[in-house]
Each structure stands twice: as C-alpha cells, then as structure tokens.
Amino acid sequence: MDLRELYQDVIVDHNRSPRNFRKLTGATRTQEGFNPLCGDKLMLYLKLDGDRISDVSFEGSGCAISVASASLMSQNVKGKTVAEAEQLFNRMRALLTGDGQEIDLESLGNLAALSGVSEYPSRVKCASLCWHALKAALQPPSQVRPTEVSTE
C-alpha cells in the first residue's frame, strides 16, 4: 500500500485549506457529528431552498481525512436536490467501505480522491463522519433526527 493512495494531493490540499469552512448564516438545517474514538468533531450547515441544497458549510476539527472529506462533500452537494445528495451518500458509502460495488470513479469527480480510504479500515470512520451528518441533515424535520451522529 502506498500512503499516497490515502493522502492524495487533493486530500492534503483540502485539509490545508478546507472549502466552505465557516458557519452558515441562514442555515435551515444543522447537524452535529462526533467520532468519539479520535475526537473528530463536525458541525454541518445546510440551506435548503425547496428541494435543493442552495448552500452548505461546515466547522469542526479532525484529522486530514475527515476534514478533506467534509470539504470535498461541501463542494459536491451544493446545488444538488435532496434525492441527488442521498444518492451520492449511497455511492460514497460504497466507495469508503469498499463493499465491492462497482463504482465509476470518473463520475465522482474530485471525490474519487477518497478512494484510498477503504484500504485503511481504521480510517473509514474518519471519512464517513460528514456523510453520515449529511444523511441525517437531509431527513425531513418532521422526522425525529439525532442531535448528533456518531460513527461509533
């Protein structure tokens, strides 16, 4: 295994300068995420306009994998509908856990930089944290949502 498969340039870059790393004023949904094992913490903000995610941002602290994953996610879900974002969640879960599904990396764009994670079982949770937070944030508010998602 080559470390560069995990720490691809895109990951290192998004860790160093995370995109959409701020509090979102006017957020319609917020979701906390916590990984008790390594102390990674995340607050995800979404602004929904009807069925569309018009803006997204996050704050928190964590390892390079978790920060880069959240940064990449924020870029990729902006402008998507709830259904499209949920579909992306499913594909990312398959990618990160390496569950054997055939995934078209090309169609994932820069998210494909997370393809090395599945080779490092202890890091899957780091990369998944923000995606679980997204999934929870997309639940209709009428449904009871967890106050905090955890990858433990």
Partner 1 sequence: MSTVRTPRAAPLPTTTGFDVLRWRRDFPVLQQSVHGKPLVYLDNAATAQKPQSVIDAVARYYRETNANVHRGVHALSECATAQYEAARDKVRSFIHAASVREIVFTRGTTESLNLVAQSYGRSLLRAGDEIIVSHMEHHSNIVPWQLLAGQLRLDIKVIPITDEGTLVPGAYAHLLSSRTRLVALAHVSNALGTVNPVREMIALAHRHHAIVVLDGAQAVPHLPVDVRELDCDFYAFSAHKMFGPTGIGVLYAKQALLEEMPPWQGGGDMIRTVRFSGSTWNELPHKFEAGTPHIAGAIGLGAAVDYLQNVGMDRIAGHDQELLAYGTEQLLRVKGLKLVGTAPAKVGVLSFVMDGIHPHDIGTIVDQEGVAIRTGHHCAMPVMERFGIPATARASLAFYNTRDDIDALVAALGKVREVFR
The CA distance from 80 to 73, in Å, is: 11
φ, ψ dihedrals at 38, nearest 5°: -115, 0
Q: Which is nearer to partner 1, 64 or 103 (CB)?
A: 64
> Is-contact 7 15, C-beta < 8 A?
no
Site for partner 1 in 104-123 (CB under 8 A): 120, 122-123
How near is the Cβ of 5 to partner 1 at its closest, in Å?
A: 11
65 binds partner 1 (CB under 8 A): yes
Angular region, 98: left φ>0, alpha ψ -120 to 50, beta rest: left
Facing residues of 59 across strands?
43
Site for partner 1 in 72-101 (CB under 8 A): none
> Is-contact 33 130, C-beta < 8 A?
yes
12 binds partner 1 (CB under 8 A): yes
From the list 10, 30, 59, 64, which residue makes contact with partner 1 (rule: CB under 8 A)? 64
From the list 54, 61, 87, 101, which residue makes contact with partner 1 (rule: CB under 8 A)? 61
From the list 32, 47, 63, 76, which residue makes contact with partner 1 (rule: CB under 8 A)? 63
Q: Which is nearer to partner 1, 27 or 60 (CB)?
A: 60
Q: Which residues of 130-148 are buried (b: 16+ CB within 10 A; e: fewer)?
A: bbbbbbbbbeeeeeeeeee
Tokens of 150: 């955890």
Tokens of 55: 């803006």
How near is the Cβ of 18 to partner 1 at its closest, in Å?
A: 13
Q: Which residues bind partner 1 (CB under 8 A)?
A: 1, 3, 6-7, 12, 15-16, 37-41, 61-65, 120, 122-123, 126
